[in-house]
């Protein structure tokens, strides 16, 4: 099971700012290990964020994203005290879902 994400969400003037830190190897599949063998690709392929059942962000990622990625985005209309849910899924089918309360 992958480590939890660190999510911070805060509302200001009706705009919610969300900061997400994900724990992931983000292996490109291009690198070779010490024995000269290719290290298999392992990276997050899709990221989505939902607020009250509505998708507020949907992203398709690839191997160009760094290890332990950091994502920051804004959306309109969130209320203080409500939850934002962030989900990622990687190319091995592994998933992680975490939530944060809007401050």
Partner 1 sequence: MSISMFMSEYKCVAVAMVMVASVFDASAQSSAVDEIARYRAQLQDGNPAELWEARGEDLWKQKRGPKNVSLEGCNIGKGAGVVKGAYAQLPRYFADADRVMDLETRLVHCMVTLQGFSYADATRRVFGSGSNRSDLEALTAWITSESKGVVMNVALNHDKEKEAYNLGEKMFFFRGGPHDFACSTCHAESGKRIRLQDLPNLTEKKGAQLGYTTWPAYRVSQGELRTFQWRLNDCFRQQRFPELVFGSEISIALTTFLANNANGAAFNAPAIKR
Binding site for partner 1 (CB under 8 A): 3-4, 6, 19, 21, 23, 25, 66-68, 70, 72
Quote the least distance from Cβ 4 to partner 1, whole Å: 7
Quote the least distance from Cβ 87 to partner 1, whole Å: 18
Strands annotated E in 1-103: 6-12, 15-21, 44-51, 54-60, 70-76, 83-90, 95-101
19 or 45, CB closer to partner 1? 19
37 or 54, CB closer to partner 1? 37
- Dist CA 63 CA 42 (whole Å): 8
Q: Take residue 33 and report the two structure tokens written for it.
A: 């290990």
List Cβ neighbours of 65 (8 Å cut-off, separation of 6 or more): 26, 43, 44
Quote the least distance from Cβ 52 to partner 1, whole Å: 25
21 or 85, CB closer to partner 1? 21
């Amino acid at each position: 099971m992958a480590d939890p994400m660190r999510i911070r969400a805060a509302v200001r003037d009706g705009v919610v700012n969300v900061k997400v830190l994900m724990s992931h190897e983000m292996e490109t599949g291009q690198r070779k290990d010490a024995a000269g063998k290719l290290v298999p690709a392992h990276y997050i392929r899709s990221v989505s964020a939902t607020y009250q059942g509505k998708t507020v962000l949907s992203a398709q990622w690839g191997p160009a994203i760094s290890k332990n990625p950091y994502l920051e985005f804004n959306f309109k209309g969130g209320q203080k005290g409500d939850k934002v849910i962030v989900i990622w899924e990687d190319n091995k089918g592994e998933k992680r879902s975490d939530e944060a309360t809007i401050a």
